[in-house]
Amino acid sequence: MNWDAFLAPYAQAVEELKVKLRGIRKQFGLESSHSPIEFVTGRVKPVKSILEKAELKQVTSFEQIENEIQDIAGLRIVCQFVDDIYQVAEMIRERNDLTIIAEKDYIKKNKDSGYRSYHQIIEYPVETIHGKKIILAEIQIRTLAMNFWAINEHSLNYKYKGRIPVEIKSRLKRAAEAAFKLDEEMSKIKKEIQEAQRIFHHK
Ligand code: 0O2
Ligand code: 0O2
């Protein structure tokens, strides 16, 4: 088997899930109610990153890779408010087209880096010409503020190859707290904001 063949079901899953999750946003829009989803993105993990993670986890075969690396197919759902994250997580739990096998709440307990997000690892069936194949995928659910922080920290991690200088690291931790404070402040005026957005939407 080659990489293209190995990754094909993952690419298929990412495309299908993007359509399905964006569909949720669309439905809320049609009913003129606040969508807990702001936007959805997705990607298949680049081969280079898969190999790096495989080395870290000391796995070698495709079979081990598909069981051990859970984010080869990655979906990201970005929300306006922290409450929305839990609403979306519950909606995904109730779906019949996927099965949740693990959930990690890095919001109630953030990671040491300052990272916050809600993760769900799912089993998702993909129809192939050889029949049904169940693959693993990771759904990350986070607010716009958490996303802003995470993409910036991710860039720095890339630049410093995972060894961010302590000075920058501590600034990042403070930035993470500031982002969370922003989420808390926005939550307090959520009703006001939603009312304003409803009026804007009607116009
Ligand atoms: P809409 O109507 O804007 O919601 P594709 O499947 O080809 O459409 P692609 O090119 O793979 O998507 O891109 P990706 O990275 O999966 O997702 C891009 C989508 O995320 C686009 O939505 C962007 O508008 C949206 N997006 C990315 N970053 C931001 C952001 O910072 N703010 C907002 N509001 N949206 C963002 P669509 O598909 O155009 O749909
Ligand atoms: P990418 O594609 O570069 O984002 P585990 O197998 O559970 O022991 P794993 O798989 O690292 O460990 O799971 P975890 O910790 O839940 O993280 C999975 C993904 O969450 C990461 O994927 C990141 O996308 C995101 N993430 C986790 N921690 C951080 C962080 O401190 N900063 C940022 N920016 N993102 C984080 P990858 O593998 O890094 O891939």
Q: Is the CB of 71 under 6 A from ligand 2?
A: yes
- For ligand 1, atom 36, which residue shows the shortest CA distance? 39
Residues near 28 by Cβ (< 8 Å), separated by ≥ 6? 34, 35, 36, 37
The answer to whether 138 is a known catalytic residue is: yes
Atom of ligand 1 nearest to the CA of 22: 4
pTM for the full model? 0.90
Name the closest ligand to CA 41: 1
- For ligand 1, atom 3, which residue shows the shortest CA distance? 39
Name the closest ligand to CA 164: 2
Question: Which residues lie across from 118 on neighbouring strands?
Answer: 105, 141
Residue range 3-54, pLDDT digits in tens: 999 999 999 999 999 999 999 999 998 987 889 999 999 999 999 999 999 9
Strands 118-128 and 99-105: antiparallel
The CA angle 195-196-197, to the nearest 5 degrees, is 90
CA of 85 to the centre of ligand 1 (A): 18
- 97 touches 23 (CB < 8 A): no
Q: Is the CB of 11 under 6 A from ligand 1?
A: no
Residue range 113-129, pLDDT digits in tens: 999 999 999 999 999 99
Q: Nearest to residue 197, comparing CAs of 189, 84, 44, 45? A: 189
